[in-house]
Structure 1
Amino acid sequence: MAKNQYLKSPDLFPVTEQNRLISSFGFAVLWTSMAVVLAAFAIGGDAIQQIPLHLVILATLVGSVGIGVCMTLTGDIGIEHGLSFPVYMRAPFGTIGTHIPSIIRGFVASCWFGVNTFFGATGINAILFILYGIDQWFLCFLVFAALQLLNTAFGIKAIEKFANLAAPIIVIISGWMYLVLSDQAQAAGRNIWGWVENPATGTAVIGAFAITAMATMGFWGTLAADMPSISRFIKAPKHERNWFKRNKAQLIGSIVAMPIVHTCMVIVGAVSYIAVFISNPVDALVETSSNVVILGILMLMIALAQWSTNTSSNLIPAATIFSNVGGPRVPHWIGVMIAGLIGILVQPWNLFSIIVPALLIVGGILAAIVGILVVDYYIIRKRRVNVPDLYEEGGQYHYWKGLNLAGLFSWLIGGGVSLLIPSYSYLVGFAIGGLLYYISAKYWWFRKYRQEELEDPSDERFLGLTVGREWFIDEEEEEEIEQLAEEA
């Protein structure tokens, strides 16, 4: 394959209007599905050990709304230009440099696939144990992982739609879980609104509050970076210059639907710990429920909910990244299999036991990427992008041997400093990464490597949806899309 075609993987081309099928309501429903991640129970179980439930809820809302704002900011890249995360990353990191932070994001998504699969597998194992006395959770884990990988790689839509039904059912059942566990806590003499295992005092309360908020931001940190890969499929009005109107669907999903559902998950985790001192929701349910039928249905919903979450939040974004790294020789389905293999090899059953500290570390590293993306897209380029050159090996984004050193150094320093202040890791990583990038890119790198959209900030040349433009990478792609449109 010619060198100049290396960046032109069909899976990474800009998404055009006719392929944007997600409505505002559909995105809110998608978020309801994605936010039903039972690992979020661990945040509640960890936080309630130091601060009371009302502060746990407030910290979770602060963190989830904050990360929702970050998601919406980066998501405009997909709305405006139809670009995915790994493609746009070529602007602040270079055509080769994009692979380094992208692989980190793909690795984290793959780990989440493993954690969610572990939860789903324990639900399946619980069903088998209830019905037949069979206890083979690891076999359930392998089979459940294989089914999800095949579904995602080959697009078995009927199964995916069925799995999506599980998410809203889980939200409803979570209300039932809350009531059951609250009653059990009350019977044990523990008021859920006042009980704390080891109450933090003085400034320690602020620290515990911040850790809960930062853990929540780290929890969704991968999607804050990778939101363009999803938002590029959202319907949005052409010729709309108002940012809020153009991103209405994103705002409803990321700042309303996600915080509500995620906070519900955290609340149930906290109440579960108050009631039985167990953060793992499956173990808590098995221990507290005597209704075999309800328990069996719930475990089935748990498995299906993790299935739908993994498909949209983890496997597809990770596969897109790995496909970008490998070029056209690594199609989407191989990217899916790579993500699945990583998710299995990291041993997610052990990873869950250290999930909150891991979230603080990962959150800071990813936050530096998000800060760089926001600064590059909004402050430096002012949303104008020379999209065709993103797909050219010798274009303006090749920089020095394919690397944008301003982006790479800013990310390494911002992510590194965030590790020194874990209680505020996301804020630190975002601020330092973004600030360093602004200074180094504006006053050093882009003076050395000129950018067309900065030299001639033309709306007509470099904006997308705002001026009614749809980006086509080559004539063959444009002719094919026009032919499909005529047939439709």
Structure 2
Amino acid sequence: MDAVKERVISKSNHIKAKVKARTTSLESWVLPKQTSSFAPLGTWVNIDNDVTPLERQTWGGWSLVGYWMSDILSTQSWAGASAIISIGLTYREALVCLILGTSIIAIPLVLNGMVGARLHVPYAIASRSSFGYWFSRVPVVIRMVTALFWHSIQTYSGATAMTQVIRSIWPSYLLIPNNLPASAGITTQQMVSHLIFWLVQFPILLIPPHKLKSFFLFKAVFVTLAAVAMVIGLCVKAGGSGDIWDQQPRYTGSERSWLILYFMSSLTGSWATMATNVADYTRYMKSDRKVYLQALLMPGISTFIGVMGIIATSASRVVYGEYIWDPVQLTSRFDGPGGRAAAFFCGAAWCVAQIGVNVSANVISCANDMTSLCPKYINIRRGAIITTIIGAWVMVPWKIVSSAASLINFMSALAVFLAPIAALLATDYWVVSGRRIDVPALYRPMGRYRYWKGTNFRAVVALVVSLGPNMPGLIRNVDSSVYIGAAEKIYNFNYLWGFMSAAVVYAGLSWVFPVPEARVSREEMRAWEEERFAASLEGVDGERRGSDRSVEVEKVKVEEK
């Protein structure tokens, strides 16, 4: 008994000492340094922004299918095509926008996805070859801020689905008196839903990316079943699929054409974040050949969920007397014993859908970015915790949703920044570098990707040229009273302009002003691949020893220069 008591006291004292250290000393938060890293002494990295170890390269083709179903199956994707119809286009035109828009974004998804699958490095590290070792932090910060914002919005959106789950069990939940002031921007009941959803979501956010395969597959099956069940149930009640198929376009001529182009570009831009940092996920692939599946998965899954949304929206008018685009609002109309059971099932599915989007599109991305910026103190686990605390609470998402339309418009327009970033990553790997990247040099401040003081001016110029014509449209997107004239036409296809212009300018400048020391010869690449293959036969430790040898060779080269 005394021995047990001593162990309890010892454990308690250890916890107290650890808590005291964490609250009084920054050094207590320092992560173990990766002694097996490609980085030279003095440059801090940790396992989460190092090259993905062999034992973590666990994703296959089905993992990628589950991942994209997890990412695409959401309330936003459900309502996307239906929202286009509500503006005044027909379902045919909405589907054209959806299919073309997602097919276009599939191109950079494959191009940049291959970077992660072949190099096995995260987006923040891969961007150093095109932007330069230090300037690469700029696109990393842009992506990080975007991820924080959307995590905030998606979490609050998930809370509305959680409300439907709870009220399906306790209908009186909707009658909880509000004890919060109007200035809070949220009611007591909404705050409770937000807290419960966040608590359910939190442990899932802490799962390491290479272990998320099962969750992605679970979400894919669960949400698909719920979506199909909602559509079938509404069609049975409506006695058909409604009259949305007979809707005539409200616009004709060039106005109609520009609207189609605008919505197509908007749907392309809505996936701009993933096209930029898809390497954060494909780095876990066992084979790079499976990356090409994205060319089919993106338009295929998007079209499926979009069609489900259109059919349900059409049937909702027959059943409820109005078009209801939002699946959570549809769920809120399910009443009675059978209706409440359906509300529980569908509400839970949309909760899982929003959690999946947060995991796959926002939290892992933001955590990876934080890891690259502060590798000494932040790994993916800590980054996920920081991301969800800031996004779900510090940013006050209910305030953003209820009163900051201009901010939402601005953040939605960040595709104008992400398009050229994705273009530079793809162009550098496939065109300028000829798919030959010196991976160890990506981790060295004084390596071949230092360029001029850590900045590649070719990327900077391409970024500026791409952004310039889109800036008036971005301003008008925030303040609709601003007149920008013909510049609005360019903004209507902002992602296409941003991507193509940046790619052409960067490739052109790299051809006119080449950087020979930043290019890897075929002989060097072949030698490095042979060394890596030989090291892989020895196991992970052998691979790292081979990598350390290449680091030492490169250090000698730098010193000689």
Fold shared by both chains (TM-score > 0.5)? yes
Find the counterpart in structure 2 of residue 96 from structure 1: 134
Find the counterpart in structure 2 of residue 192 from structure 1: 244
Which of 280, 283, 294 is the matching residue for 2:326? 280
Shift of 1:169: 2.3
Give the Cα–Cα distance (whole angstroms) in 1 for the partners of residues 45 and 194 of structure 2: 36
Give the Cα–Cα distance (whole angstroms) in 1 for the partners of residues 528 and 99 of structure 2: 36
Q: Could you say if the C-alpha distance between residues 480 and 231 of structure 1 is closer, same or farther in structure 2, counting changes exceeding 3 Å?
A: same
Q: Could you say if the C-alpha distance between residues 305 and 453 of structure 1 is closer, same or farther in structure 2, counting changes exceeding 3 Å?
A: same
Q: Could you say if the C-alpha distance between residues 178 and 200 of structure 1 is closer, same or farther in structure 2, counting changes exceeding 3 Å?
A: farther
Give the Cα–Cα distance (whole angstroms) in 1 for the partners of residues 454 and 468 of structure 2: 23
- Which residue identity is paired with 1:209? I
Shift of 1:324: 0.2
Find the counterpart in structure 1 of residue 16 from structure 2: none
Q: Which runs of 5+ in 1 are unaligned?
A: 237-245, 482-488
Q: Could you say if the C-alpha distance between residues 354 and 234 of structure 1 is closer, same or farther in structure 2, counting changes exceeding 3 Å?
A: farther
Q: Could you say if the C-alpha distance between residues 107 and 209 of structure 1 is closer, same or farther in structure 2, counting changes exceeding 3 Å?
A: same
Give the Cα–Cα distance (whole angstroms) in 2 for the partners of residues 272 and 347 of structure 1: 32
Find the counterpart in structure 2 of residue 229 from structure 1: 280
Find the counterpart in structure 1 of residue 264 from structure 2: 213
Find the counterpart in structure 1 of residue 75 from structure 2: 38
Q: Could you say if the C-alpha distance between residues 331 and 88 of structure 1 is closer, same or farther in structure 2, counting changes exceeding 3 Å?
A: same
- Which residue identity is paired with 2:301? V
- Which residue identity is paired with 1:218? G
Find the counterpart in structure 1 of residue 291 from structure 2: 250
1:28 matches 2:65: yes
Find the counterpart in structure 1 of residue 340 from structure 2: 292
Give the Cα–Cα distance (whole angstroms) in 1 for the partners of residues 95 and 541 of structure 2: 52
Cα contact 1:81–1:471 (8 A) shared by 2 = no
Which residues in structure 2 correspond to 1:83-482 (within 5 Å)?
Answer: 83-132=121-170, 133-135=172-174, 136-153=189-206, 155=208, 161=214, 164-181=217-234, 191-195=243-247, 199-236=250-287, 246-247=288-289, 249-252=290-293, 254-274=294-314, 275=317, 276-287=322-333, 291-344=339-392, 345-349=394-398, 350-351=400-401, 361-419=413-471, 420=473, 421-444=490-513, 446-447=514-515, 450-453=517-520, 458-461=524-527, 478=544
Q: Could you say if the C-alpha distance between residues 477 and 329 of structure 1 is closer, same or farther in structure 2, counting changes exceeding 3 Å?
A: farther
SS of the residue aligned with 1:327?
coil
Cα contact 1:364–1:427 (8 A) shared by 2 = no
Cα contact 1:80–1:463 (8 A) shared by 2 = no
Give the Cα–Cα distance (whole angstroms) in 2 for the partners of residues 471 and 386 of structure 1: 21
Shift of 1:46: 2.3
Find the counterpart in structure 2 of residue 484 from structure 1: none
Moved more, 343-352 or 417-426: 343-352
Cα contact 2:424–2:503 (8 A) shared by 1 = yes
- Which residue identity is paired with 1:32? M
- Which residue identity is paired with 2:201? Q
Give the Cα–Cα distance (whole angstroms) in 1 for the partners of residues 408 and 258 of structure 2: 14
Give the Cα–Cα distance (whole angstroms) in 1 for the partners of residues 147 and 297 of structure 2: 21
Shift of 1:336: 1.2
Which residues in structure 2 correspond to 1:12-23 (within 5 Å)?
Answer: 12-23=49-60
Give the Cα–Cα distance (whole angstroms) in 1 for the partners of residues 129 and 198 of structure 2: 35
Q: Could you say if the C-alpha distance between residues 358 and 154 of structure 1 is closer, same or farther in structure 2, counting changes exceeding 3 Å?
A: same
Q: Could you say if the C-alpha distance between residues 382 and 463 of structure 1 is closer, same or farther in structure 2, counting changes exceeding 3 Å?
A: farther
Cα contact 1:396–1:450 (8 A) shared by 2 = yes
Cα contact 1:74–1:228 (8 A) shared by 2 = yes
Give the Cα–Cα distance (whole angstroms) in 1 for the partners of residues 332 and 502 of structure 2: 44
Q: Could you say if the C-alpha distance between residues 464 and 428 of structure 1 is closer, same or farther in structure 2, counting changes exceeding 3 Å?
A: farther
SS of the residue aligned with 1:382?
coil
Moved more, 156-165 or 27-36: 156-165
Shift of 1:309: 2.7
Cα contact 1:163–1:304 (8 A) shared by 2 = no
Give the Cα–Cα distance (whole angstroms) in 2 for the partners of residues 376 and 202 of structure 1: 40
SS of the residue aligned with 1:11?
coil
Find the counterpart in structure 2 of residue 242 from structure 1: none
Give the Cα–Cα distance (whole angstroms) in 2 for the partners of residues 264 and 22 of structure 1: 24
Deviation per residue, 1:257-310 (Å, 9 max, x gap): 332222233234444554333333211221256511111111111112222232
Cα contact 1:105–1:222 (8 A) shared by 2 = yes
Q: Could you say if the C-alpha distance between residues 468 and 461 of structure 1 is closer, same or farther in structure 2, counting changes exceeding 3 Å?
A: same
Cα contact 2:226–2:345 (8 A) shared by 1 = no
Deviation per residue, 1:169-226 (Å, 9 max, x gap): 2222222333444567788x96121225x62211222222222222222221111111
Q: Could you say if the C-alpha distance between residues 126 and 21 of structure 1 is closer, same or farther in structure 2, counting changes exceeding 3 Å?
A: same
Q: Could you say if the C-alpha distance between residues 416 and 37 of structure 1 is closer, same or farther in structure 2, counting changes exceeding 3 Å?
A: farther
Give the Cα–Cα distance (whole angstroms) in 1 for the partners of residues 542 and 444 of structure 2: 16
Cα contact 2:80–2:306 (8 A) shared by 1 = yes
Q: Could you say if the C-alpha distance between residues 9 and 80 of structure 1 is closer, same or farther in structure 2, counting changes exceeding 3 Å?
A: same
Give the Cα–Cα distance (whole angstroms) in 2 for the partners of residues 162 and 229 of structure 1: 17
Please, what is the CA RMSD of the aligned residues?
A: 3.5
Shift of 1:234: 1.1
Moved more, 201-210 or 153-162: 153-162
Kindly tell me the number of residue pairs found equivalent between the two proteins.
Answer: 465
Q: Could you say if the C-alpha distance between residues 103 and 176 of structure 1 is closer, same or farther in structure 2, counting changes exceeding 3 Å?
A: same
Find the counterpart in structure 2 of residue 241 from structure 1: none
> Higher RCO, 1 or 2 (CA under 8 Å, sep at least 6)?
1
Tell me the TM-score normalized by structure 2: 0.74
Shift of 1:18: 3.7
Shift of 1:337: 2.5
Structure number with greater Rg is 2
Q: Could you say if the C-alpha distance between residues 356 and 204 of structure 1 is closer, same or farther in structure 2, counting changes exceeding 3 Å?
A: farther
Cα contact 1:45–1:278 (8 A) shared by 2 = no
Q: Could you say if the C-alpha distance between residues 380 and 479 of structure 1 is closer, same or farther in structure 2, counting changes exceeding 3 Å?
A: closer
Give percent identity, aligned residues only: 19
Find the counterpart in structure 1 of residue 111 from structure 2: 73
Moved more, 378-387 or 265-274: 265-274
- Which residue identity is paired with 2:108? C
Cα contact 1:163–1:307 (8 A) shared by 2 = no
Tell me the TM-score normalized by structure 1: 0.84
Q: Could you say if the C-alpha distance between residues 146 and 108 of structure 1 is closer, same or farther in structure 2, counting changes exceeding 3 Å?
A: farther
Shift of 1:358: 5.4
Cα contact 2:59–2:284 (8 A) shared by 1 = yes
